[in-house]
Chains A and B, each alone.
Chain A
Amino acid sequence: MEVYRLFDTMNPKKLDIEIANHESQLETAMQAVEGFLGECGIQQDVAFRVILAVEELVTNSMKYGYDDDNPHTISISVCIQDTVPEEIVLLVQDDGHPFDPQDAPTPDLESAPEDRQIGGLGLHLVKQMSQGLEYERMEPYNRVRVTFRT
């Protein structure tokens, strides 16, 4: 499936992408988001956090959201709100199993790094490196909304 990039002519500071639930699509989605944030003049450190959230949330959907081999679509939307300071809203939607990222267990952050079980850090990074994460299930979709301030 191709990556679809949809422009909202009413709001040039909005990007919508649809990708197939296949890991080969992830890089293209990340590049599209990075390019869009660059075009909008978003500082690199903020763009870094948004791209990280795209990677972690989409990877999670692809890895754990589906147990069939059917094609599915994951939608990614990035909107830069005209507030002071600017707020960036990332929305990731999939039609996978219901999963609220808020319910993900907190990873082990106390043991020495070299002694830890590896894993579970992705959602922790997204929560800690954003201003807020909200989830809703609108059958048959999971919708995760993450906000960032510039």
Chain B
Amino acid sequence: MSLQVSMKERRPTYFEIGLTGRLDTNTYLQLDRTLEMVFENVVRGLQLNLENLEYISSMGLRMVLKAMKLAKASNAPFMVVNMQPQIEAVFKVANALPSQSVFSSVAEADNYFDNIQAKAKGE
């Protein structure tokens, strides 16, 4: 019942956090620490990759909501990618799906981010 958290910078200032395993009362601090590390940087986009997330509880949801709040405070788009059905069910019950930014692939999320950046630059 563990959680592995990975973090990489997909583009300058655009970060991906990947979760593998279970995000719950026993593991949420790992994501909390990663969020703190990420937001020590300038963040212009944050992607949460849930492809390998098997389980989430209310404590896990709290961390995802915290990530959304941090992204909003940085004026950075927040994207969720590859959500498994059992995880999506929990998000739906909590009405906590980010409305415009749930994607079924990393490429879609990257494209969304790139479009936002291009608009911001007036391209």
- Residue pairs across A and B with CB atoms within 8 Å: the count is 72
Nearest CB of A to B95, in Å? 4
B118 at the interface (CB under 8 A from A): no
- Give the bracket for the number of chain A residues in contact with chain B: 20 to 34
Counting chain A CB atoms within 10 Å of each CB, which of B24, B26, B58, B72 scores highest? B58
Residues of B within 8 A of A (CB-CB), count? 28
Q: Which residues of B contact A113 (CB under 8 A)?
A: 65, 68, 95-98
Asked if A124 contacts B93 (CB within 8 A), the reply is: yes
Asked if A125 contacts B65 (CB within 8 A), the reply is: no
* In the complex with contacts A30-B1, A109-B94, A114-B65 CB distance below 8 A: yes
Q: Which residues of A contact B93 (CB under 8 A)?
A: 124-125, 128-129
Q: Which residues of A contact B66 (CB under 8 A)?
A: 118
Complex CA distance for A125 and B92, rounded to whole angstroms: 10
Question: What 1/0 mask marks residues of chain B from 42 to 73 whose CB sits below 8 Å from any chain A CB?
Answer: 00000000000001011101100110110110
Q: Which of A94-110 contact B (CB under 8 A)?
A: 107, 109-110
Question: 5 tightest A-B contacts by CB?
Answer: A122-B58, A114-B68, A121-B58, A109-B95, A113-B96
A-B contact pairs, 27 of them (CB 8 A): A26-B26, A27-B26, A30-B24, A31-B1, A44-B86, A48-B55, A52-B90, A55-B24, A55-B25, A56-B57, A59-B25, A59-B59, A109-B94, A113-B68, A113-B97, A114-B65, A114-B71, A114-B72, A114-B98, A116-B65, A118-B69, A119-B62, A121-B61, A125-B90, A125-B93, A128-B93, A129-B93
In the complex, besides A124-B93, A125-B94, 11 extra interface pairs with C-beta distance below 8 angstroms are: A30-B1, A30-B26, A44-B86, A45-B89, A55-B57, A113-B97, A114-B69, A115-B69, A122-B59, A125-B93, A129-B93
